[in-house]
Amino acid sequence: MIDQLLELDKQLLLVINGIGNEYWDYFWYFITNKQSFFPLYAILIYLMCKNKTKSSILLLLFIISLMITFTDQVTNLFKDGFERLRPCADKSISGLLRLENCHGFGFFSGHSSNSMAAAVFTILMLKSKLPKYIFLMIPWSLAVGFSRIYIGKHYPFDVICGWTFGFFSGYLFYFFYKKISNKYI
């Protein structure tokens, strides 16, 4: 059963990786690059901090830092624990992929978990300020995850697990922020 799921995962990766072309490659490399979204992060943090007290801002920035660190490090623990090679590092499949080789382990996707944690946390923080637009964070996170499959860094299952973990992480840290700010600020 597990072997069949892993084979399906591999075949789905090959389909997604194979649909691309040279022009799309640039787009998906932009999406997968964390630095591409620094302006977005700055705007969202500004909107979250707007009209808050200094102590509330410090707490918010601390919680965001903690969330990113936690999500990223748990992802690394899973990668080191499961030792599932990235598709681009797996010699049995890397020759079938369109984009460059890489190294390391890929289960589960850090880009997917971090982007989904950020999306969920941001949605919960800004839903009353930007109700019409804030839900665009979910398609953004989905695009980041898809980019990881497209460029051959992760299997689809790695990305789905990353999104799932990120969803719970974002919600958990929002809960911590609300609990602490309601009690102490």
Per-residue tens of pLDDT for the chain, all 185 residues:
888 988 899 899 989 988 888 888 899 999 999 899 999 999 999 999 999 999 999 999 999 999 999 999 999 999 999 999 899 888 888 777 876 668 889 899 999 999 999 999 999 999 988 888 888 999 999 999 999 999 889 999 999 999 999 999 999 999 999 999 988 87
Cα angle value 66/68/71 (rounded, 5°): 100
Q: Domain spanning 2-184 has what CATH number?
A: 1.20.144
The tokens for 34 are: 């964390």
Question: What local confidence, expressed as pLDDT, does residue 100 receive?
Answer: 66
Contact criterion met (CB below 8 Å) for 72 and 109: no
pTM: 0.92
Sign, Cα dihedral of 162, 164, 167, 168: negative
Rounded distance between C-alpha atoms, residue 62 and residue 141, angstroms: 22
3-state helix/strand/coil string of the chain: CHHHHHHHHHHHHHHHHHCCCHHHHHHHHHHHCHHHHHHHHHHHHHHHHCCCCHHHHHHHHHHHHHHHHHHHHHHHHHHHHHCCECHHHCCCCHHHCCCCCCCCECCCCHHHHHHHHHHHHHHHHHCCCCCCCHHHHHHHHHHHHHHHHHCCCCCHHHHHHHHHHHHHHHHHHHHHHHHHHHHHC
Q: Characterize 66-89 residue by residue with b for buried, 16 or more Cβ atoms within 10 angstroms of its Cβ, and e for exposed.
A: ebbeebbeebeebbeeeebbbbbb
Rounded distance between C-alpha atoms, residue 182 and residue 176, angstroms: 10
Question: What local confidence, expressed as pLDDT, does residue 55 receive?
Answer: 93
The verdict on whether omega for the bond into residue 167 sits within 30 degrees of 0, i.e. cis, is no
Contact criterion met (CB below 8 Å) for 105 and 84: yes
